[in-house]
Amino acid sequence: MKKFINNPENVLPDALRGLAAAHPELRVDLEQKIITRAGKPAAGKVGLVSGGGSGHEPLHGGFVGVGMLDAACPGEVFTSPVPDQILAATVAADNGTGVVHVVKNYTGDVMNFQLAAELAAAEGIVVETVLVDDDVAVQDSTWTAGRRGTGATVFVEKIAGALAEGGAGVAEVAELGRRVNAASRSFAVALTSCTTPAAGRPGFDLPDDEMEIGVGIHGEPGRRREKLASANEVVATALDAILSDHPLAPADRTIVMVNGLGGTPLIELYLLFGEVASTLDGKGITIARSLVGNYVTSLDMAGVSITICQADEQMLTLWDAPVRTPALRW
Amino acid sequence: MKKFINNPENVLPDALRGLAAAHPELRVDLEQKIITRAGKPAAGKVGLVSGGGSGHEPLHGGFVGVGMLDAACPGEVFTSPVPDQILAATVAADNGTGVVHVVKNYTGDVMNFQLAAELAAAEGIVVETVLVDDDVAVQDSTWTAGRRGTGATVFVEKIAGALAEGGAGVAEVAELGRRVNAASRSFAVALTSCTTPAAGRPGFDLPDDEMEIGVGIHGEPGRRREKLASANEVVATALDAILSDHPLAPADRTIVMVNGLGGTPLIELYLLFGEVASTLDGKGITIARSLVGNYVTSLDMAGVSITICQADEQMLTLWDAPVRTPALRW
């Protein structure tokens, strides 16, 4: 296994120490394994909390800051955070007006966030949950009942985060988060597998001349294996899957993310974005806003995910609102 | 070769089309292959131009924008831009008060930028050159007489860019750029090779249990091969090389970049940064500012470079100045 780590068992605490050293604007609690903003948000602000297994960086810790999350709780690599940890993040994020949990749809995450929400409720904290299930590749998967949650998490956290920053109530923030998820679809293609530090070897085998169509962010199987194809064929496959599930009409406005899964060079992501842009342009669909880079990764996997959100005026306005996090800043 | 491309010969123009689609704040001239700001900078502002082979994204096009570059000229993958292209970037960046070229020390880059500077001078444009040669790994290398230019390029472009934005003259901007380079040192370690689209196979062989100590950003050989080591040993090797070349004393303040070479997960980069921070802290050296992420890459190479700049007050102030580019924003 070729990784820059010390002990496979200490990857998360070691990385959290680095995150703390690099970002004085964050507060990293190494004992509870939660990441919060160093400064206290405005009194009365609805708290936004997300979390899930590590290995998807910058998700979620890299999205803590003004305009996005108040707290993140990273589990071990590809492992859900535990309920007490999620509860600690929830308590840290609560300013007396409730907390919204943004939860990617994986069975362990859903269960543990729900337990934490019940524990928080027992402490008098109102918790609303936004379940993200944007990946159109498969219905049900290795660790999921229903669709997997992937790239739309970034859109939900950015847009609902901006609404929360503006002083909206907990039900309103959650409702918008759910609308963003409902308006978003993702599809991913992998060229290689990924290797967790604990396993020390690739999570699945993928021949040198094949790619996994519809892969999950933990290497879960997609729809099928295919022979390697050109970038424009890959984009056509992904956009077909997305648009047949959520048709878009000419003049619709979108936010589009072309996201690297960790091992894909940025030059390829831009090349892929160019294909997405020309395809959507050909259909008269407007890309109003975009992101190109590594936002929801799968360790060292070479691959790409494409996420499209059909955005209304409110979503676009909130997308443009200021954000100050390690991974997203404007 | 597992890459998201169409035709290996069209990777650069295809990627530039994507860059243009993703960043309306940039103007991408597909014919001349130059990237400039969409808006004209203030009249009289000194222009800042950089460029070099592609495959190091976000370097250089990702650093075009307010507070950094006025223009970038990307060559083909791992290939210098041609003199006419550099001249076009220089002319585009000139506002009548001269242009500073930021040139990484590779023989082809140095020669072509020098030719372009002479052509620009013939057109009446004053050009000053900042040569970046921060990589302490080796003296002379595959494509270099003297030391290679790597991560310090980001520091030079950010700090000199801020000075230029503030209205300084061409000699003053160049002089500061040279001071930043002189105060900076880098060292890189690779776990894997990288594959150019043209070659279609890894540029060098690296056994499964070895790493290249002191690798260059095109896969040039470093100082030696070693058996895989833990992250803290890798950091110790890199910091020994850097600090023995440029000693730092307690109370010295630094800007530190832990940079992924393209195929390294962000969680590992943060883990490495934690090791760098604790080592420097143990020596009483202050990390005043930091960057952790992919800034100067080598296609899909799994590896890391560490760059340290001994920063004075002026450099830190200019580091903090606003910057609005695709890859660096605050």
Out of B5, B6, B263, the one facing A263 most closely (by C-beta) is B263
Spatial contact of B255 and B288, defined as CB atoms under 8 Å apart: yes
Q: Which two tokens stand for residue B286?
A: 């202050």
Out of B4, B287, B304, the one facing A4 most closely (by C-beta) is B304
- Say whether A15 and B267 touch across the interface (CB within 8 A): yes
- Residue B168: per-residue pLDDT: 98
Q: How confident is the model over A258-275, as a mean pLDDT?
A: 98
- Residue B142: per-residue pLDDT: 82
- Residue B329: per-residue pLDDT: 97
Looking at chain A, which residue has its C-alpha nearest residue B235?
A4
- Say whether B4 and A266 touch across the interface (CB within 8 A): no
Confirm whether B56 is a catalytic residue. Answer: yes
pLDDT surpassing 90 at residue A222: yes
- Say whether B192 and A2 touch across the interface (CB within 8 A): yes
For residue B266, the SS3 value is helix
What is the residue type of B209? D
- Say whether B15 and A270 touch across the interface (CB within 8 A): yes
**Separation in Å, CA of A93 to nearest CA in chain B:** 24
**Separation in Å, CA of A51 to nearest CA in chain B:** 15
Per-residue tens of pLDDT for chain B, all 330 residues: 999 999 999 999 999 999 999 999 999 999 999 999 998 778 899 999 999 999 999 999 999 999 999 999 999 999 999 999 999 999 999 999 999 999 999 999 999 999 999 999 999 999 999 999 999 999 988 888 899 999 999 999 999 999 999 999 999 999 999 999 999 999 999 999 999 999 999 999 999 999 999 999 999 999 999 999 999 999 999 999 999 999 999 999 999 999 999 999 999 999 999 999 999 999 999 999 999 999 999 999 999 999 999 999 999 999 999 999 999 999
- Residue A39: per-residue pLDDT: 85
Spatial contact of A137 and A149, defined as CB atoms under 8 Å apart: no
Most B CBs within 10 Å, among A1, A4, A193, A292, to test the B interface: A4
Q: Which of B42, B72, B240, B244 is nearest to B153 (CA)?
A: B72
The active-site residue, picked from A23, A60, A101, A218, is A218
Reported as a pLDDT band with limits 50, 70 and 90, residue A76 is very high
- Say whether B21 and A192 touch across the interface (CB within 8 A): no
Q: How confident is the model over A5-14, as a mean pLDDT?
A: 97
Q: Which of A330, A294, A326 is nearest to A35 (CA)?
A: A326
Please state, in angstroms and rounded to a whole number, the distance separating the CA atoms of residues B130 and B113: 11
Looking at chain A, which residue has its C-alpha nearest residue B304?
A4
Spatial contact of B47 and B93, defined as CB atoms under 8 Å apart: yes
Q: What is the side-by-side order of every strand in the sheet holding B303-310?
A: B224-227, B210-213, B184-190, B303-310, B253-260, B286-293
Q: Which domains are assigned to chain B? A: 10-133+145-167 (3.40.50.10440), 184-319 (3.30.1180.20)
Interhelix angle B170-182/B152-165, rounded to 10 degrees, is 150
First and final CA of chain A: distance in angstroms?
37
Backbone torsion region of residue B14, taken as left when φ is above 0, otherwise alpha when ψ lies between -120 and 50, otherwise beta? alpha
pLDDT surpassing 80 at residue A229: yes
SS (H, E, C) A267-310: HHHHHHHHHHHHHHHHCCCEEEEEEEECCCCCCCECEEEEEEEE
Q: Which two tokens stand for residue B189?
A: 């370690």
Q: Provide, rounded to the nearest whole percent, the portion of chain A with pLDDT above 90.
A: 96
Largest CA distance in chain A: 56
- Residue B86: per-residue pLDDT: 98
Residues on chain B touching A296 (C-beta within 8 angstroms): none
- Residue B145: per-residue pLDDT: 87
Please state, in angstroms and rounded to a whole number, the distance separating the CA atoms of residues B59 and B145: 22
Question: What sections of B196-246 are H helices per DSSP?
Answer: 231-245
- Residue A324: per-residue pLDDT: 97
pLDDT surpassing 90 at residue A328: yes
- Say whether A299 and B267 touch across the interface (CB within 8 A): yes
- Up-side HSE of residue A110: CA atoms within 13 Å toward CB? 15
The answer, yes or no, to whether ipTM is higher than 0.95 is: yes
Q: How many CB pairs under 8 A join A and B?
A: 184
Out of A2, A17, A22, the one facing B191 most closely (by C-beta) is A2
Q: How confident is the model over A70-77, as a mean pLDDT?
A: 98
Spatial contact of A68 and A161, defined as CB atoms under 8 Å apart: yes
**Separation in Å, CA of B120 to nearest CA in chain A:** 29
Confirm whether A101 is a catalytic residue. Answer: no
Residues on chain A touching B15 (C-beta within 8 angstroms): 267-268, 270-271, 274
Rounded to 5 degrees, φ, ψ at B116 are -65, -35
Across all residues in chain A, what is the average pLDDT?
A: 97
pLDDT surpassing 80 at residue A41: no
Reported as a pLDDT band with limits 50, 70 and 90, residue A68 is very high
Residues on chain A touching B304 (C-beta within 8 angstroms): 4
Residues on chain B touching A53 (C-beta within 8 angstroms): none
Most A CBs within 10 Å, among B270, B292, B294, to test the A interface: B270
Residues on chain A touching B268 (C-beta within 8 angstroms): 3-5, 15
Q: Which two tokens stand for residue A95?
A: 């300013």
**Separation in Å, CA of A234 to nearest CA in chain B:** 8
Reported as a pLDDT band with limits 50, 70 and 90, residue A84 is very high
Lowest-pLDDT range of A202-206, A285-289, B124-128: A202-206
- Say whether A271 and B18 touch across the interface (CB within 8 A): yes
pLDDT surpassing 80 at residue A200: yes
Please state, in angstroms and rounded to a whole number, the distance separating the CA atoms of residues B70 and A176: 39
